[in-house]
Amino acid sequence: MDSVRVRTPIYTEEDHHTWAELCRRQSVLVAPVACRLFEVGWPKLNLDQIHLPNPVEVSSRIFEATGWTLTDAQNGYLGPTEWFEHLAERRFPVTNYIRRPDEIAFTPNPDLFHEYFGHLAFFMDQDFADTAELFGKLYLNAGDERQRLAIARLWWYTTEFGFIREGGSLKLYGAGLLSSPGELLHSLKPETPRVPFVIPEVIETPGAAYSMHTKYFILEDEGHVRRILKDFAAMEGILFPSL
Ligand SMILES: [Fe+2]
């Protein structure tokens, strides 16, 4: 196992306090609206919610659960090819930067609260983890830039900003919703459009990395993401990867 790809920086007391405050506030906010994968995965991940987690230990825990490891995202948005190459190799890129206290409600930078609180619970589930690997491999099988951009948007509107239908209600599936107090509340407003996940529409909808989204897409069930990848591969004639 390769866990030396993540480093543990030295955090200040203020950093630990920001982490603890975000965990405390966000746990309350997401409790009634988080999807099943988060509800089940978060306690399994068992993060220290008072002190910033040790990335090497967290990487080992995820590796034992699903064979994924964490890797260093160099505290910024990776280029898409580099991002999907990591996914294809079962490595999830994480930053080690924590937002400033005045950015608690919203930060445009993908800080470690976004990564650890928003994403990592999902990687305790084998089916989700395998689907993330398929995302990476499908991206690498794509034939041109248009297809690669489309796959990046499919990832964005599922794993980052998706809703999912569960037991007759809508739950939050995307890490960008689960980890952002501001966007979580915005996404749940009655007037915010939440529409069925229609591939041709999703791939024409640019993501909003630096502001909140104006529309969200709904997954029908946990198997829907895998079906989306298969359907897109078939539509575009891209070889569907094997695990
Ligand atoms: Fe993310």
Q: How far is the CA of 183 from the centre of ligand 1 (A)?
A: 13
CA of 191 from ligand 1 middle (Å) equals: 25
What is the Å distance from ligand 1's center to 93 Cα? 9
Rounded CA gap, 179 and 190, in Å? 20
Cα distance between residue 77 and residue 160, in whole Å: 13
* 236 Cα to the center of ligand 1, angstroms: 26
The pTM for the full model equals 0.94
* pLDDT tens string 91-118: 999 998 899 998 887 777 779 999 999 9
Rounded distance, CA 184 to CA 81, Å?
A: 28
Q: Which CATH topology does 13-236 take?
A: Phenylalanine Hydroxylase (1.10.800)
Cα(169) to ligand 1 centroid in Å equals: 24
84 CB contacts (<8 Å, ≥6 apart)?
135, 136, 139, 140, 148, 151, 152
Residue ranges of domains in the chain: 13-236
pLDDT tens by residue, the chain, 243 residues: 444 477 777 899 999 999 999 999 999 999 999 999 999 999 999 999 999 999 999 999 999 999 999 998 876 668 899 999 999 999 999 998 899 998 887 777 779 999 999 999 999 999 999 999 999 999 999 999 999 999 999 999 999 999 999 999 999 999 999 998 889 999 999 999 999 999 999 999 999 877 889 999 999 999 999 999 999 999 999 999 999
71 Cα to the center of ligand 1, angstroms: 14
94 CA to centre of ligand 1 in angstroms: 9
